[in-house]
Amino acid sequence: MRKILILSFFIIFSSCSKDFLEQPSLTNLASENFWKTEQDALLGIHAIYDGLQDRIQYSGNLNGFAAAGFPMYDCFGDNVFNATGWLFVGPGNYMLGNVDPNYQLFATLWISLYRGIGRANLAIENISKMPASAISDQRKNQLLAQAYFLRGLFYSHIAIYFQNAPLILKVQALEESYVAKNTYQEISDQVVKDLTFAATNLPNSYPAAQYGYATRGAALGILARSHLYNKNYQGVLDATATIMTLGYTLDSDYARLFTEAGESSREIIFSVRFNQDVSANNELFSATFATIPRVESAPMKNLVDDYLCTDGRPITTSPLYNAANPRNNRDPRCTATIYFQGDIFLTDLNRAFAGNTATRFGQRKYVRRAASSTGIAVSSPGGQDFIVLRYADVLLMRAEALLETNQLTEVYTLINQVRARVSMPTVQSVDGPNLSQTALRTILRRERRVELAIEGLRFFDLKRWGTMQQAFQAIANDRVPGYIPTYRGVKSETFPISQSEINVNQQLTQNAGWQ
C-alpha cells in the first residue's frame, strides 16, 4: 500500500539516510525556512510515521542475520521458535539467556524508538508555533494529535520493554542530550497524556486516499492497551466503549485479513503501511524462503495444541481430534495461522511444506504465498501492511477488563462475538452459562492467544498476566532440539539499556537485574 513519505531534509535533523520524497530534492532547506506552511507540517508528520517502517520496528526481517522487528515478538514467549546462534540476533538468544547489554537488538530498538520520539518532538514544537495565517487551528490540532499519537506509541514500547528510560519531551541541544532515566510510571503517565490528547483531536476517519493516518479509534485503542497493561480496568472500559461506537466490525474472513487483499478491512484500526513497488521499501516480515516458510519463526507445538476443535473442545477431550491428522476439525484460525506438514505454502509453485522447521510447523499468517504479479519474489521486500491494532483485540481487551472487575455477563458476549466470525461455538454451548471468574479467565486467555497469535503481542500478554515462567516451561515441554530456554526473572521480562548508550551517557544507569 501507499508508502508514507519523509521529507529529505530530515536526513540532516534525524540521521536518516533514505530519500523518500518523490519530488525535487529539498535537502538544502535550513530549519528556519521550513515549518512555514501546512504542507511543511504534513511532511514533518510523515517523517515520524516513517520511523515505524524501520526493520527493528514493523518492516521486520526474513533471516536471523539482522535484528528482529515487532512482527517477530511472539518469539519472546511460548508461541514461536526463533533460530539461535552467534550469527543470529533475534529473540531466540534472549529466550536462552545468551544475551547481555551489548546485544545488538537492544541498541537498535532503543535508537529507532528515540529517533521516532525525536522527530515527534520536533514536529510538536514547530507546528505549535505556526501562526493561523499558515495553518488553521483545527488542522494544526489534527496534525499535532498525530505527532502525540506516534510519540505515545513509541513510548509505550519503551515502557513495556525497557521500563525505566529517559522521558524526552522537547528538542534537545547537544549539551542537553545526556539525561538520566525516568521511572516506568512517569513514562506510562506520559503515554496516557499523549494518547488522550490524540484521541480528543483526531478525526474518526479520513478520505480513502489518506487511509493509514492515525484516527481517534487508533489513539483510544493504544490507550486501552496501555491501561490494560497497567491494570487500569476502568480506563480500558471507557476507551473501548467509545471505540465500539465508531463503526468498526469484525471481518468475515479471518485469513484474508493478513494479506494485501484485506488491508482496507473495517476491522483494522491502525496499521503500518507498505507498498511493494516503492524502492527501498524494506518490508520483509511477510517474506519467506522458497523451500521453507520462515525457518527462523516457526510456531511452537504448545501453541498449535491450544487451538480448539470445531466442537469448541480442546484436543485432549474432543472426539473430533485425530493425532494422525491434527489439522482436521480445528478452529479455522489454526490453519489460517499455521502450516502443517503437507500444506501447500507456495501456490504458484504448488510447493508443499515438508515439515522441515525445528518445530515441524510453519508460519502462515502474514506470509506471502506466491511471487507478485510484477515478478517480485517471495523472499524480496513486499507490500504487506502490518496491523498494529484491530477490532478483535479491542473486544478481547474489554472482555479482560470486565472479567478482572468481576463483571462477567458481557464477557460471554464479547468472546462469542470473536468466535462467531470463524463459526466456532459459543462459550455457553460448550462450557456452560455460569462459569466462575477463574474458569472464564482461562477461556478468555486461550481465546486471546489463538485470535492474536503471531501478531507480536504474546510478550505483552504473558508479562501482564504474570505467566512468563509458565510459558518458559511450556517451551521446554515441546522439546525442540537444542532449544531449552531458562526463566531468569527480570532478565526474561525486560530489556537492558544498551551498553553503548551507558558508555556515552554518564547520567544513565543500567536497569535493575541487568547490572
Within 8 A by CB and 6+ apart from 505, the residues are: 177, 178, 179
Give CA separation, 450 vs 207, 332, 344, 390, in Å.
Answer: 33, 10, 22, 15
Element (H, E) at 250: none
Q: What pLDDT does residue 8 have?
A: 35
Looking from the CA of 311 toward its CB, the CA atoms found within 13 Å total: 9
Report the DSSP beta bridge partners of residue 195: none
More confident residue, 197 or 1: 197
Do 194 and 154 touch, CB atoms closer than 8 A?
no
H/E/C letters for each residue in 42-58?
HHHHHHHHHHCCCHHHH
Q: What stretches of 26-103 show up as alpha helix (H) in DSSP?
A: 38-51, 91-96
**Cα–Cα distance, 289 to 277 (Å, whole number):** 20
**Cα–Cα distance, 269 to 265 (Å, whole number):** 9
Give CA separation, 275 vs 7, 63, 121, 369, 490, in Å.
Answer: 18, 21, 27, 17, 39
Using one digit for the tens of pLDDT, what is the confidence trace for 413-453? 999 999 999 999 999 999 999 999 999 999 999 999 999 99
| pLDDT above 90: percentage of residues in the chain | 85
Using one digit for the tens of pLDDT, what is the confidence trace for 282-299? 899 999 999 999 988 999
**Cα–Cα distance, 246 to 199 (Å, whole number):** 12
The chain-wide mean pLDDT, for the chain, equals 91
Secondary structure (3-state) at 305: helix
Q: What is the pTM of this model?
A: 0.93
> 115: exposed, middle or buried (C-beta count within 10 Å: 0-12, 13-18, 19+)?
buried
The beta strand positions in 365-428, using DSSP E, are 386-390
CA angle 264, 458, 87 (to 5 degrees): 100
Element (H, E) at 109: helix 104-129
SS3 percent helix, strand, coil of the chain, rounded to 5, is 45, 5, 50
> 432: exposed, middle or buried (C-beta count within 10 Å: 0-12, 13-18, 19+)?
exposed
Using one digit for the tens of pLDDT, what is the confidence trace for 217-261? 999 999 999 999 999 999 999 999 999 999 999 999 999 999 999
Q: What pLDDT does residue 14 have?
A: 41
Instruction: From 257, 236, 247, 77, select the one nearest 161 (Cα to Cα).
Output: 77
pLDDT surpassing 60 at residue 485: yes
How many C-beta atoms surround the C-beta of residue 507 within 10 A? Answer: 11
Give CA separation, 150 vs 92, 143, 156, 197, in Å.
Answer: 29, 11, 10, 12
Using one digit for the tens of pLDDT, what is the confidence trace for 329-381? 999 999 999 999 999 999 999 999 999 999 999 999 999 999 988 888 999 99
Looking from the CA of 171 toward its CB, the CA atoms found within 13 Å total: 12
Give CA separation, 114 vs 158, 165, 166, 458, 483, in Å.
Answer: 9, 10, 9, 23, 33
Secondary structure (3-state) at 418: helix
Q: What pLDDT does residue 90 have?
A: 86
* Dihedral (CA of 32, 37, 43, 44) sign: positive
Q: In angstroms, how far is CA 362 from the centroid of its own chain? A: 20
Q: Which of 19-33, 88-102, 350-364, 417-431 has the lowest mean pLDDT?
A: 19-33
CA angle 395, 48, 129 (to 5 degrees): 110
